[in-house]
Structure 1
Amino acid sequence: MQANKNKNTQPELLVRRFLHAAGFRYRLHRRDLPGKPDIVLPRYRTVIEVRGCFWHGHGCKLGKMPKARQEYWGTKINATKERDQANRNALETAGWRLLELWECDLRNDPDGILEGLQAALRGI
């Protein structure tokens, strides 16, 4: 699993390129925030997490549990979900807004998701 990237994934790079082109400035993987979020927009006090459907246990086709070693993967993915929830709670308690973008949504409708993201940020 060391070969699997946890930073600078294709969906994350897509969101970063869009944000930059739209004029948003951001920071990456800030260590002083819970969970080292993917993208941090300090001006908007907003954190964007780009979630991989498999690794974060999304209910879509991409989040399907493998047939081999189901106990191992079930435990691993459940622990990831619990960690995500703990990080979400810590960020909200600290006054940050969290936006989660899922890999499947970015694959199926990137323009719609990115336009919605821009509208959410401009509406602050």
Structure 2
Amino acid sequence: MVLSEVPCPKCGKTGLYVEKPSDNEVWVKCHECDLFLGMSDEDWHRIHNSPNLHEKIAKVYKTEYPKAVSGGSCRACKSGKDDLIFGICKSCLYKILIVILVIMVIGSYAVWMSVL
């Protein structure tokens, strides 16, 4: 069964699908990323029949993977991006590295001029 309207709690794209490998187990998977949620059939029926299915699936994902972050925001520019390094997006990280490099060049020039 495909849940086309439900976004994946890990990657944010729609298209989760449900597999039933046995009578008492249900697997929720994502086509785009490696999301895998295994749950009992009773839990699935309780979640599936609720009006806010995407919130329930996100809650199950957060309880099973508490340290996982799905699409954070950059600490510098506050934009929501997926490719974060130490909580900073790549474009802000490059800008910070350029500023540090310029400061180091100016500092080394000042030290060199004071020695002469």
Query: TM-score w.r.t. structure 1 length?
Result: 0.26
Look at both structures and tell me which one has the larger radius of gyration over its CA atoms.
2
Q: Which has the higher strand share?
A: 2
Q: Which has the higher helix share?
A: 1
Query: TM-score w.r.t. structure 2 length?
Result: 0.27
Pick 1 or 2: higher relative contact order, CA cutoff 8 A, min separation 6: 1
